[in-house]
Amino acid sequence: MTALAVTRLSMREAVSRRLVLIGLVLSAAFLLLFGFGFGALYSRAASEADSTALAFGASMITVLGLYIVRFLAALLAIFLSSSAVASEIDSGVLHAVLARPLSRTSWLAQRWLAFVLVTVGYVAMMTLAVIAIANGIAGYAPLNTPSAIAVIALELAVLLSVGLLTSTTWSAVTSGVVTFSLFGVAWLAGIIELIGDQLRNQTMQLIGIGTSLFMPSDALWRGASFYLQPPSVLVLSRQAGGGNPFAGIAPPTTTLIVWSVLYATAMLLLAAWRLRRRDI
């Protein structure tokens, strides 16, 4: 019966926060705006623009919209995980719980699972809604939505593992700032790598790849964004010479996926190791 009691509680806790309620209201507003924007593109442009420009526009709006969704989910992941350990210990919430016949590793893993389910649930819901709207208005058909969601889920798992690791040591604010900084650094490195690709500058490419090893979040997003674009747009983007910082033109490599899984697992194990050694 202890099975997943902590997961269930953590999910309810996450959802019970006002943040999630506000988030849902804002997300609804976001979908509304997206629908109007997308609709406007087709009502006015459809008559005059050529179909290539139109497909590019539709793809751009959709991918950017989903970039925002993924960004919000990443923020949610950082917010949830960075306040999950040290601040719970300091406030005394954990004392009675960890005095139960429950290993700290199990407690941490259950909490991680809860946060994965909440954040991935949010991303899946919003991604499907955005794609459905775009599809309803203009027959927008991305390459592979489930694959995109799976890769974003992996990115969120990575962020949650790092957030939990930093929160075993630092207070909520410090932990959140550190994790968010890593997320930001990865984004910047992604841009450097992209420009390096286009200029064939090997140093810039190495900076990007090195940083992705250190924090694979942005590389994962670019991989996910590949699946969110229609095949025709991808072909045109490749011919034009490359993607942009928001939308990649290649699927995530197997190396990246394997590395990210190992990375998330290692960070989570490290967090469990630190928590086990910590006095509460």
Q: Fill in the DSSP letter of residue 49.
A: S
Rounded distance between C-alpha atoms, residue 279 and residue 216, angstroms: 31
Least distance to other proteins from the beta carbon of 95, Å? 4
Distances in Å between the alpha carbon of 16 and those of 19, 84, 96, 161?
Answer: 8, 15, 21, 22
**Residues 100 to 129 in contact with other proteins, rule: CB under 8 A:** 100-103
Rounded distance between C-alpha atoms, residue 230 and residue 237, angstroms: 11
CB 86, CB 167: distance < 8 Å: yes
Among 20-28, 87-95, 183-191, 195-203, the segment contacting other proteins (CB under 8 A): 87-95
Residues 28, 40, 46, 93: which binds other proteins (CB under 8 A)?
A: 93
Residues 47, 48, 51, 92: which binds other proteins (CB under 8 A)?
A: 92
Is residue 5 at the binding interface for other proteins, with CB under 8 A as the rule? yes
Region at 215 (left for phi over 0; alpha for psi -120 to 50; beta for the rest): beta
Tokens linked to 270? 């490290």
Is residue 19 at the binding interface for other proteins, with CB under 8 A as the rule? no
CB 207, CB 193: distance < 8 Å: yes
Is residue 97 at the binding interface for other proteins, with CB under 8 A as the rule? yes
Among 36-44, 61-69, 77-85, 89-97, the segment contacting other proteins (CB under 8 A): 89-97
Is residue 21 at the binding interface for other proteins, with CB under 8 A as the rule? no
Least distance to other proteins from the beta carbon of 183, Å? 28
Question: Which residues lie near other proteins (CB under 8 A)?
Answer: 1-2, 5-6, 9, 13, 16, 91-93, 95-103, 277, 279-280
